[in-house]
Amino acid sequence: MAQLGSSSVAGSSLASSSSFFLTGRPLLRSSFSAVRGRETVLIPKKISILSRRLSGLEEAMRIRRLSVNLIIVKYSASPRARELESLNKARKKPPLRRGKLSETLPVPEHILRPPYVTTKLLPEISKEHQIHDEEGIACMKAAGELAARVLDFAGTLVRPSVTTDEIDKAVHKMIIEAGAYPSPLGYGGFPKSVCTSVNECMCHGIPDSRQLEDGDIINIDVTVFLSGYHGDTSKTFLCGNVDERTKRLVKVTEECLYRAISICKDGVSFKKIGKKISELAERYGFNVVERFVGHGVGQVFHSEPIILHHRNNYPGCMVEGETFTIEPILTTGSIECVTWDDGWTTLTADGSMAAQFEHSILITKTGAEILTKY
């Protein structure tokens, strides 16, 4: 985006094309009289009127100020204006602060682990699309069903005063009791079994000692590794009394996910997902985060295809039997982000609220089957 330099505002030449002075014809008037003998003589004085032509930018700003004033007068008392004002008056919450981390939880030796657990290196995204036979589809359904049950249970724990660490411990216990491995644990050195992203945290929040507060929102991202297959899902939950603007954000984000899933089937272009999500988000004045994407999922945690949630020209089409995630993140403000020095926790750059929903889906000839249905 082009910027106006300071020299174009102050110290610009009077002879510039965008801002100059026009001189009108002189007016004659009697400025004073002189007496010559007995005759009074009027001595004229020239007066010039100077008129400054406004630059295009200045004229636009003047018109904008007038228009805004007229709109305020006309609509300030209307019911719709009051509704919009109410939605935009989200309670200002203090910035997210990190708490203390507890010890990493153990996993019984008999539980099958994904291969990345043996190293702290972040695995590269696999270039292969994950397309399954009947046996593979059955395993994906089992993993997805378990992930959905764990997420539902985690949601029941969301209330003021509960810590995200308590949620992590409960999720960890439920997953290992089902004979599965919590996929985030050890992925690229991630220290916990679930991601808990609160308020302005876009994603990858690490559970800690921070207590949830009334008015918070929290995304809980659950992935399980069961019988060699990953099931991946997430949902944003409301904690206590959440303001209307933030509730609208959460509702629209969830609707974006389902609208995107509704157009998926064999042969459909991947880029249509981003178009569908962007259309709905923009209609409600929210913004779609571009940095984080959906991905292929199956025996490998993250693979092609990369699912972009914003408008894009990503090539390729969906194929029957393949599985991937759709997981849009919407914000009430900036889509730019900052990441804490833990290397994971990523927040909106301006502190605006963020919400996310995610499902793992299976592409069929006629549509898409949700494998992680809540």
165 is in an annotated binding site: no
Look at residue 139 in the predicted model and tell me its pLDDT. Answer: 98
> How far apart, in whole angstroms, are the C-alpha atoms of residue 222 and residue 159?
18
Could you tell me the two tokens for 31? 């400025």
Q: Respond yes or no on whether the N-terminal peptide bond of residue 328 is cis (omega within 30° of 0).
A: no
232 is in an annotated binding site: yes
Instruction: Kindly tell me if the per-residue pLDDT of 9 is higher than 70.
Output: no
> How far apart, in whole angstroms, are the C-alpha atoms of residue 171 and residue 182?
9
244 is in an annotated binding site: no
Look at residue 185 in the predicted model and tell me its pLDDT. Answer: 98
Look at residue 142 in the predicted model and tell me its pLDDT. Answer: 98
Look at residue 93 in the predicted model and tell me its pLDDT. Answer: 83
Mean pLDDT to the nearest integer, 81-90 = 51
Look at residue 86 in the predicted model and tell me its pLDDT. Answer: 52
327 is in an annotated binding site: yes
Instruction: Kindly tell me if the per-residue pLDDT of 345 is higher than 50.
Output: yes
Instruction: Kindly tell me if the per-residue pLDDT of 88 is higher than 60.
Output: no
- Kindly report the pTM of this predicted structure: 0.78
Lowest mean pLDDT among 86-95, 122-131, 333-342, 352-361: 86-95
Q: What are 216-243's pLDDT values in tens digits?
A: 999 999 999 999 999 999 999 999 999 9
HEC per residue, 249-316: HHHHHHHHHHHHHHCCCCCCECHHHHHHHHHHHHHCCCEECCCCCEEECCCCCCEEEEECCCCCCCCC
Q: Chain-wide mean pLDDT for the chain? A: 84
Instruction: Kindly tell me if the per-residue pLDDT of 212 is higher than 50.
Output: yes
Domain ranges of the chain: 115-370
Look at residue 79 in the predicted model and tell me its pLDDT. Answer: 55
Q: Mention every residue, 6+ apart, whose C-beta is less than 8 A from residue 134.
A: none
pLDDT band, residue 4 (cuts 50/70/90): very low
Mean pLDDT to the nearest integer, 47-54 = 44
Q: Mention every residue, 6+ apart, whose C-beta is less than 8 A from residue 201.
A: 96, 219, 345, 346, 347, 354
> How far apart, in whole angstroms, are the C-alpha atoms of residue 57 and residue 39?
56
309 is in an annotated binding site: no
200 is in an annotated binding site: no
Q: For residues 208 and 163, is the Cβ–Cβ distance under 8 A?
A: yes
Instruction: Kindly tell me if the per-residue pLDDT of 35 is higher than 50.
Output: no
Look at residue 37 in the predicted model and tell me its pLDDT. Answer: 45
152 is in an annotated binding site: no
Q: CATH for 115-370?
A: 3.90.230.10
Instruction: Kindly tell me if the per-residue pLDDT of 50 is higher than 80.
Output: no
Give the position of tokens 């308590």.
166
pLDDT band, residue 333 (cuts 50/70/90): very high
